[in-house]
Amino acid sequence: MKKKLLLFLVVLPFFSFSQAVDRSSVASRVDSLLELSREYSGDSKFDSALARIEAAEELTLEKLGRESAAFGSVCFHRGYLHDRKGEYKDAEKWYLEALAIQEKHFGRIHPDYASSVHNLARVYLEMGDYEKTEPLSREAVALREEIYGKEHPDYARSLINLGNLFLHRNDPEKAEPLLFEARAIMEKTLGKEHPDYAFCLHNLAVIYWQLGNYEAAEPFILEAVALRKKTLGDTHPFYAYSLVNLAILYGSMGEYEKAGLLSLESLSIFEKTIGKEHPDYAMALNRLATHYRDLGIYEKAETLYREAAAICEKPGNKENIRCANVLNNLGALYFLTEEYEKAEPLYREALAVVEKIVGKEHPEYANGLDNLANLYMYMEEYSKAEALFLEALALNKKVQGEEHPGYGRSLNNLALFYKRVGRTKEAEQLLSEAIAVKEKTLSETNPDYENSLVILGGMYVEMRDNGKAQPLLLKANEIGKALLERAARHLSESELAEYIHSFNNRQDLFFSFIENRPELSGAAFDNALFYKGFLLNSARQVSKLAQADSTTAQMFYRLKSCYRRLAREYSRPLAGQDEVAELEEKANRLEKELARTVAGFGDALRQVGWREVQKQLQAGEAAVEFVHYDHYSKETSDRTLYAALVLRPGDERPYFISLFEETAFGKLLAQEEVPGKNFLAQAYSRGITPKKKGQGPGLFELAWQPLDSLLAGIHTVYFSPSGRLHRVNFGAIPVGKDSVLADKYGLVRLGSTRSLVLPSVTHSNTPPKALLFGGIQYELDTASMQQDTALLTLLPANAETLSFKYAARGPDRRLNNWNFLPGTKAEVANIDTLLRKAGYVSEIRSGTTASEGAFKAIGRLGGPAPRVLHLATHGYFFPNPDSPGGGLADNSSSLGAGWEEASTFMISDHPMIRSGLILAGGNYAWQTGQPFRPDMEDGILTAFEISQLDLSDTELVVLSACETGLGDIQGSEGVYGLQRAFKIAGAGKIIMSLWQVPDEQTQEMMVCFYRHWLEEGMEIPEAFRAAQREMREKYEEPYYWGAFVLIE
């Protein structure tokens, strides 16, 4: 018994010692696992972090127990993981559990306990619970001061936390000393190269941003961005966070190019690191959406806002300032799109969240009041609106001061209200004050500043105080151009188109003001030069410059490849366009990257002034820019006015000549459902022949007579149409009993008279080759279909032997198909003979060889595009299905009932799909809505597909088809159709038609034109005019000869 007892007493101490060693070893292993998890959490490798935490937790619970200090550390690291993931409710739970265990083991004066307090305070800050944030933040500062003293980075981190709270409460005066103290400590203890030093820089920038001093804020954030990129790399979420802050600053400064690029980059980093469910990802979405909203790209903005709002709806996310800002911004978007019933509940919800979190004395609350007031103003609930505007103004004055952009915006908003309700004097005073504030606090190119100038200038126009209006409108006009030029350097074409749309009202105001002020006609001419075809010019410059550099050329070819895939998708029935959204987004990204990257692009878009155009004019020449605009002082929507700006050599300034209202023009061109020869004869003769009773003015009286007196002694007129004038052949307008304008003047039709100063690329060095399409078989080739007897029933026995009483180069309105055009076969054969005699290497594509594939091979199979490209075939154009039709060109190709269900070519949202040419085999896709086989072209060559080709070596394109000059008319950009497509592709001159043309007379005119050009040695414009004169002598009605126009 003694022996056993002795043995037991000897063994017991050994066992106790082993247990102690084992506990220490376990704790060490747990610490190692948790340290790894912390590193993974910091790098946003959340799955790896969770795996280490779970391993540590399992080991702790098995060996040490739930009440151990080690488990407190596990709880802390679980909290940190959820904190980094933006799961703040879960983070709160684990931090609180950690605090309880740490206090039990260590007491409060311990680094671990202080860290839990510090982190919990930050979580409450993110959750918007400022009442809990402040005592914890102060406790963390006090604990760390006692534990470490004041010269320690952890003490500085807690100062930053407390300073951040004051910034969230918009109290920069309290935040500033804390943050400057923290920066000094960080600099002394860690140095300026440590990534944590960036926190100080960020928060100091926020101080200046809140004070409205954007220029002072910028260097701090730029330094933080550079530091984080250097120390953490450009794929780290903290680096992305810096980019978002910089984007917010640049957005406030109106630097949209920089803001957009930074927003896109930050979003991409967040997506790859913290994922798409994180609140910080929502913050980046919100910033990018606001960027698109500011540019008028509302569809994209809505998608992004809604995605951000969905993240905010998750538990623990909704009640914070950032998510309230998302709701406010989405409401503002719906306000802009006039969806007021959607805007109001969002505004109210955002206000309630802000009031709950920070109370009413906060800029975000004032911003919400302004937004809600604006909404009520447009809903005509004026008493509610005024009360809210006044409350917002008083609040902004109190919390931000009178020298802050936010106060300037409130002044601006209240002024708009007073202007709307007729309290003009009060509105004038407030707008003047708003402009003064913005001049002090914003740059001269800031859109907010420009907006106030436009509003006050417009008000002075209404008050007929032109002396005060003039300097404001001229200044705003120059800022607007600068903003658009900057946007062209970073937006895709579709985005830029939406942004340009936001300038339409400004141009309406500008031309309305200038029309009776001859001393400003030069500014009007300059505006026409700047805005007309801005997108087309931009697209051509990008294409030209991109291909000149090997690096950007590869990007350009990737973009073209993407667009070719898009063209195929667009041609499918709408229900089958599965890849459109993805391909459009990819094309957008490539376009934007090209615009940013292409060397010399900014210089290539340089502005041209009217004096430069005048220098190019010779004696006896004149330049005419037609413009159209909605008159600013007229309330009704149908009072669109047209004017001509006439410039001659030696003029001190251009002449602004008012012409007509669009309603009069519309009545003239809407006399018949289909523009037949009788209608066209009346339209083009009216004003020369005596009018019938009740008959309005003709084309000459409307569009030319008011400026004709200025053209005495002029023999050549370079002119650029606008609006519905794109659909008029000016040369066919009569000026006497037996003469037309083309007899009196050499009329040179241009997209913009800008091209007199910046001419297109010459094509004279290309080999003399020609490619002719005509005599096309529109049914499928039976030889390729012998194995499919079911489809043989679709084919006529012999397409070329079909006889027609009358053939027009447009669709047969009785059948959903395209008829064979006998005249086109003879046409291309005769032209081929003339070309060969003139030394051209000419090739004819007819029958089934005139395929879409053959056309798309132009310029892609080892050789340049032909110098001459002639297409004798059917053409089509369908107006926007969402817009009311009317007028000569609006009465375009239309097919039988039920076609809308099958044809994407008729109902597509894309105007360049609703315009095109029919090539070999096109009837099958026209009837079925799809190609014969998925790997085949469909035979329907859309304008969009043409625009993707390289026709920069093509001097002349002849579109010997019906309605090839038509398309959607979109503001200052002109016609979206075949002419735009060929110009984007790089072609030189284009001959095209404005209405459906008879087959026989068309081939007669075309052969006549080539004979004058090639045999008689005339220049192309002279030969074209000679051919029309010859046809006019034979056929009196303009229907037979007047459809075709030449665009240079």
DSSP letter string, 496-542? HHHHHHTTHHHHHHHHHHHTT-GGGHHHHHHHHHHHTTHHHHHHHHH
Average pLDDT for 705-730: 93
- If one counts every other C-beta atom within 10 angstroms of the C-beta of residue 1045, the result is 25
Strand partners, 630: 640
| Per-residue H/E/C for 599-654 | CCHHHHCCCCCHHHHHHHCCCCEEEEEEEEEECCCCCCCCCEEEEEEEECCCCCCC
Residue of 972, 983, 880, 977 whose CA lies nearest to 499:
972
Average pLDDT for 719-744: 87
Inform me whether the pLDDT recorded for 563 exceeds 80.
no
- If one counts every other C-beta atom within 10 angstroms of the C-beta of residue 618, the result is 8
Inform me whether the pLDDT recorded for 17 exceeds 50.
no
Q: Which pLDDT does position 810 carry in this prediction?
A: 53
Inform me whether the pLDDT recorded for 811 exceeds 50.
no
Q: Which pLDDT does position 266 carry in this prediction?
A: 94
Fold for the domain defined by 769-1047: Rossmann fold (3.40.50)
Mean pLDDT across the chain, nearest whole number? 83
Q: Which pLDDT does position 670 carry in this prediction?
A: 57
Q: Which pLDDT does position 579 carry in this prediction?
A: 74
**Amino acid letter at 673?**
E
At 392-444, the pLDDT tens digits run 999 999 988 898 889 999 999 999 999 999 999 999 999 999 999 999 988 88
Portion of the chain with pLDDT greater than 90, in percent: 46
**Exposure letters 507-516 (e unless 16+ CB within 10 A, then b):** bbbbbbbbbe
The 8-class DSSP code of residue 35 comes to: H
Q: Which pLDDT does position 800 carry in this prediction?
A: 35
**Amino acid letter at 515?**
E
Q: Are 508 and 723 in contact (CB under 8 A)?
A: no
775 in the Ramachandran plot: left (φ > 0), alpha (ψ -120 to 50) or beta? left
Average pLDDT for 333-351: 94
Residue of 462, 483, 877, 420 whose CA lies nearest to 632:
462
Is pLDDT larger for residue 735 or for residue 891? 735
At 80-131, the pLDDT tens digits run 998 888 888 899 999 999 999 999 999 999 999 999 999 999 998 888 788 8
Structural domain boundaries in the chain: 610-756, 769-1047
At 607-633, the pLDDT tens digits run 789 999 999 999 999 999 999 999 887
Q: Where are the alpha helices (DSSP H) in 755-902?
A: 789-792, 822-837, 852-856, 887-890
Token pair for residue 316?
Answer: 């623990």
Overall size of the chain counted in residues: 1048
C-alpha span between 184 and 197 (Å, rounded)? 10
Q: How confident is the model at residue 366 (pLDDT cuts 50, 70, 90)?
A: very high
Question: At 878, is the secondary structure helix, strand, or coil?
Answer: coil
Residue of 1010, 942, 1028, 1014 whose CA lies nearest to 982:
942
Inform me whether the pLDDT recorded for 894 exceeds 50.
no
At 398-409, the pLDDT tens digits run 988 898 889 999
How far the first Cα of the chain sits from its last, in Å, is: 120
Q: How confident is the model at residue 634 (pLDDT cuts 50, 70, 90)?
A: low
Inform me whether the pLDDT recorded for 895 exceeds 60.
no
C-alpha span between 445 and 747 (Å, rounded)? 40
How far is the CA of 63 from the CAs of 26, 68, 139, 356, 500, in angstroms? 7, 10, 33, 46, 69
Token pair for residue 347?
Answer: 């505004």
Average pLDDT for 632-653: 83
Q: Which pLDDT does position 667 carry in this prediction?
A: 74
54-57-58 Cα angle (round to 5): 85
Burial class (CB in 10 A: 0-12, 13-18, 19+), 291: buried
- Residue showing tokens 């400026």: 707
Q: Are 889 and 995 in contact (CB under 8 A)?
A: yes
At 254-292, the pLDDT tens digits run 888 889 989 999 999 999 999 999 888 999 999 999 999
Burial class (CB in 10 A: 0-12, 13-18, 19+), 96: middle
At 852-880, the pLDDT tens digits run 989 988 877 557 899 999 999 998 888 87
